[in-house]
Amino acid sequence: MKLSEAKAVITGGASGLGFATAQRVIDEGGQVVLLDINDALGAESAAKLGDRASYVSTDVSNEDSVKAAVLKAKETMGGITLAVNCAGVANAGRALGREGPWPTENFNRVIQINLVGTFNVTKEAAAIMNENEPSEDGERGVIISTASIAAFEGQIGQAAYAASKGGVHAMMLPLAREFANFGIRVNTIAPGIMLTPMMAGMSEEVQASLASQVPFPKRLGHPEEYANTVAFIYETTYVNSETIRCDGAIRMQAK
């Protein structure tokens, strides 16, 4: 697979890790359809990327919305060869906080977006990829999802987030085993503390404190480094059913 020939759908593509990935695909000569729920930013981001990019409003937690978006992407690009799941939320709350037990509704929302949303996009994109002509290796497509280091070292208050990202990591292997029959690879990236728009909005003191916890390099991760990891996975056919940590060797403490 060559990124220059990629036909990519990227959820959460309007900003952060998703937009950086879209920019990398466009820079290499590929095509991109951004799937996001922020319509204004999605349209703006697609315009920044140029003629080979477009935007489709998508609620990844809604199966019908995902089906329609993936079909639209197929029509726009003439197929799909790469799907990158970056859409997610990071709601935090202690299970037993000062105001009592955390509402299960909040837990469910995180699971629906981060985990079920990833599954929705994965299965629908795979169905389109299965229509592709196979490469010399028999490859038809690549799916890359976003877990988190919280999947392995979730902190206090991250029960929902860690469960959702742990689920993304755990479902990778059975999906990779199943999709191997169709020539579709499934991999996952587990980012550390990345300099996303949400993180950039925090004070310099908070950012410096977080950066000091990273063994090397002592800084926050750049979205472009996530995008580089996507590019490596896409173009390296023998990488399959792998979770790659992109985290500067940090191992998060309890809090």
Would you call the peptide bond into 103 cis, given omega within 30 degrees of 0 as the criterion?
no
d(CA 33, CA 154): 32
Nearest residue to 86 (alpha-carbon basis) of 240, 178, 190: 190
CB atoms closer than 10 angstroms to residue 102? 18
Please name the residue that has the structure tokens 């469960």: 163
How many angstroms separate the first and last alpha carbons of the chain? 41
Query: Is 161 annotated in the active site?
Result: yes
Contact between 226 and 187 (Cβ < 8 Å): no
Question: Of 55, 161, 226, 234, which is the active-site residue?
Answer: 161
> What is d(CA 115, CA 202) in angstroms, rounded to the nearest whole number?
26
* CB proximity list for 73: less than 8 A, separation 6 or greater: 7, 9, 33, 35, 56, 80, 128
Q: Are the beta carbons of 138 and 202 closer than 8 angstroms?
A: no
Positions annotated as catalytic residues are: 161
